[in-house]
Amino acid sequence: MVKTVRVGVLALQGAFVEHIHMLNTLRGEEHISDVIEVRTKEELASIDALIIPGGESTSIALIAERCGMLESLREFVSTKPTWGTCAGLILMAKQAIHTKKGGQQLLNALPVTVSRNQFGRQVDSFTIKLDSPCLNSLSGVKGSDGTSRQFEYVFIRAPAIVSVDDPEVQPLVTLPPGYGQTDASENGLLVAVRYRNMLGTSFHPELTDDSRWHQYFVRMALGDDV
C-alpha cells in the first residue's frame, strides 16, 4: 500500500489559505491524502504533518493560547513533520530577538535564534531568485533550456536565522552578502534550515506559483530522501 500523508495548515491567523491552495495543486502528483485547516486540538491530532504559516507571530501564539492549543502544538512540533514559514519560523524557534515589548510565546522546538523583522518594514519587502540545491531532486527543477531553475524567494517583513544552536541543524538557503540590517548580513543571512522533523523558512513560497518547497515538505513528511 502506498503511504500517504494528511497535511494540516494552522488557520488561526495569517496566510493559511495560500498554503492550502498550493498543497491542493499537488494532490494529483504527490501522495497527499487530504489537506485541512487546523483550528482545534482535535484537528491537530488528526493530521500527519503541519504547516505554520506567515502572519503575525505574536497574534498566532496568543490565539493558540486562548484556544488551548499551545501545548498541543508544542507536543506536535517536537515529534511530527512541521514547517514554519516566516511567522511560523519565529514561533518554532527556541529563541527570538527584536520581539515586541514583553516578548512572546514560542514553541521552543527549533534550535535556532531568529531575528524578527530582520529586513525592515512592509515597504522593505523584496524578492530574489536563487539557486537552491536542496530542491534539485524535485520535479520541475529544470528550465526549458535544461539548466537548473532558480526559485523566486519572497520576503515580507521577514525574520532571519542569526544563530544555529545545534550541530544537527542543516542550513538550506543563505542570502547573498549585503541583505538585511545587521553586520551578520555581510556574510549572508540564513533563511532556511532543516532539523530532524522540522523545516523552517523565512520566506513566503505560498505567494509564488512554484510548488517546489511544498513538494519538499511533503516528501520530507513521507520520509523520502530529499
Decide: 32 and 26 in contact? Cβ < 8 Å: yes
Amino acid type, 159: P
Question: Which candidate in 18, 19, 30, 206 is catalytic?
Answer: 206
Query: Average pLDDT of the chain?
Result: 89
Q: Could you confirm whether 21 is annotated as catalytic?
A: no
CA 137 from chain center: how many Å?
19
Confidence (pTM): 0.92
Question: Which candidate in 18, 19, 30, 204 is catalytic?
Answer: 204
Q: In whole angstroms, what is the distance from residue 215 CA to residue 218 CA?
A: 5
Which residues does 75 contact at the CB level (< 8 Å), separation at least 6? none
Q: What is the dihedral of CA 114, 120, 121, 122, to 10 degrees?
A: -80
Q: Could you confirm whether 31 is annotated as catalytic?
A: no
Q: In whole angstroms, what is the distance from residue 100 CA to residue 224 CA?
A: 38
Task: Find the angle CA(183)-CA(176)-CA(133) to the nearest 5 degrees.
Answer: 135
Profile the chain (226 residues) by mean pLDDT over runs of 10 residues: 89 95 93 96 97 93 94 97 97 88 84 86 80 84 63 92 95 86 68 97 96 96 89
pLDDT in tens, 148-207: 789 999 999 899 999 999 999 999 999 988 776 555 556 788 999 999 999 999 999 999
Q: Could you confirm whether 206 is annotated as catalytic?
A: yes
Decide: 187 and 117 in contact? Cβ < 8 Å: no
Question: Which candidate in 86, 152, 168, 214 is catalytic?
Answer: 86
